[in-house]
């Protein structure tokens, strides 16, 4: 029987997506989330943050366009679903822009700690049981030990950091909406459409700053690496995790990101964690292990 090439991504490869637990997809997302910045180091030295952000978004959009050609089904979606896809695209565009502006002014650990405040609120709203509330407390304690928020640096950096925090919450909420949809296009197909919209939404802000990269192939190659490792792989893995995890469970799992950063730093950059960092990692892992998903 011929394969239906127009079928949603999840229906074309159900075995891999469903046989692996959702936590495995989230772990893959967390790892690649921190591999991306290693490519961005070269770009930050030559290109302004807004240009780096647009190159990341545009390269990811190009990959999704060549892979899934999402314009084929976008027009056929119900108007409400189209609105969610467009909203997610705008959120992705602005979220990436303000994130890079924030880390250009503040330490990455500070921005990451502020970013996690939003998911903590989502997890707290869905705690519902004493066990999950205890898991949330452990995760918060671990993140507090792992990250140090210092009231230093440019005030504008904090404005961008807290804006990124709010947008990250919207990403979780909208990402779950497209992941849970069972009609028409799959969550990953809708994500692809959102990423194309994000490329267009960020174009007026970032294109001018990104122009120097077009004269240097090595910068474009680095931008492509940033887009694939920071946007394509993590966002696809997020969709595969979101479609099987409640919002609160996914939000709590995000507390693993600081722990993942410490582990990746040790393995890749030879940054040996301190005893305090090891304690923070242990608290976060204990919180995630204690948590039990609650159907929504």
Using one digit for the tens of pLDDT, what is the confidence trace for 25-64? 888 888 887 777 667 766 888 899 999 999 999 999 999 9
d(CA 28, CA 169): 20
SS3 content of the chain, % helix, strand, coil (to 5): 80, 0, 20
User: What pLDDT, on the 0 to 100 scale, is given for residue 163?
Assistant: 94
User: What pLDDT, on the 0 to 100 scale, is given for residue 279?
Assistant: 82
Give the pLDDT band of residue 17 (cuts 50, 70, 90). Answer: low
All residues at 6 or more sequence positions from 36 whose CB lies less than 8 Å from its CB, including other chains: 56, 225, 226, 229, 230, 231, 234
Across the range 277-287, mean pLDDT stands at 75
Highest mean pLDDT among 27-41, 91-105, 237-251: 91-105
Cα–chain-centroid distance for residue 91?
12
User: What pLDDT, on the 0 to 100 scale, is given for residue 13?
Assistant: 47
Inform me whether the pLDDT recorded for 219 exceeds 80: yes
Inform me whether the pLDDT recorded for 247 exceeds 90: no
Across the range 212-237, mean pLDDT stands at 90
User: What pLDDT, on the 0 to 100 scale, is given for residue 170?
Assistant: 93
- What is the total residue count of the chain? 296
User: What pLDDT, on the 0 to 100 scale, is given for residue 105?
Assistant: 81
Across the range 72-78, mean pLDDT stands at 84
All residues at 6 or more sequence positions from 165 whose CB lies less than 8 Å from its CB, including other chains: 114, 115, 116, 117, 118
Q: What is the pLDDT of the chain when averaged over all its residues?
A: 80
Look at 78 and 113; give whichever has higher pLDDT: 78
Report the run of H or E that residue 177 belongs to, with start and end. helix 155-180
User: What pLDDT, on the 0 to 100 scale, is given for residue 249?
Assistant: 76
User: What pLDDT, on the 0 to 100 scale, is given for residue 1?
Assistant: 43
Look at 1 and 210; give whichever has higher pLDDT: 210
Q: And the tokens for 14?
A: 């159900």
């Amino acid at each position: 029987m011929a394969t239906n090439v127009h079928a949603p991504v999840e229906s074309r490869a159900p075995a891999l997506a469903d046989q692996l637990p959702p936590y495995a997809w989230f772990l893959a997302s967390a790892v690649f989330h921190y591999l991306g910045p290693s490519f961005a180091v070269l770009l930050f030295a030559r290109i302004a943050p807004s240009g780096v952000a647009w190159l990341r978004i545009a390269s990811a959009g190009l990959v999704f366009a060549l892979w899934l050609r999402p314009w084929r089904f976008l027009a056929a979606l119900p108007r409400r679903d189209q609105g969610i896809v467009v909203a997610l695209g705008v959120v992705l565009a602005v979220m990436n822009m303000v994130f890079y502006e924030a880390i250009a002014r503040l330490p990455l650990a500070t921005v990451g700690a502020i970013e996690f405040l939003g998911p903590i609120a989502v997890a707290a709203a869905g705690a519902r049981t004493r066990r999950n509330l205890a898991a949330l407390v452990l995760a918060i304690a671990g993140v507090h030990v792992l990250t140090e928020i210092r009231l230093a640096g440019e005030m504008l950096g904090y404005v961008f950091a807290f804006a990124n925090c709010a947008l990250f919450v919207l990403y979780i909420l909208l990402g779950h909406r497209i992941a849970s949809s069972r009609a028409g296009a799959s969550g990953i197909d809708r994500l692809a459409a959102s990423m194309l919209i994000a490329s267009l939404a960020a174009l007026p802000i970032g294109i001018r700053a990104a122009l120097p990269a077009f004269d240097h192939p090595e910068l474009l190659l680095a931008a492509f690496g940033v887009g694939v490792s920071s946007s394509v792989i993590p966002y696809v893995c997020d969709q595969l995790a979101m479609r099987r995890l409640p919002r609160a469970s996914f939000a709590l799992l995000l507390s693993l990101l600081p722990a993942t950063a410490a582990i990746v730093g040790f393995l890749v950059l030879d940054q040996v964690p301190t005893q305090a960092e090891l304690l923070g990692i242990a608290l976060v892992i204990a919180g995630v292990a204690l948590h039990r998903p609650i159907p929504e």
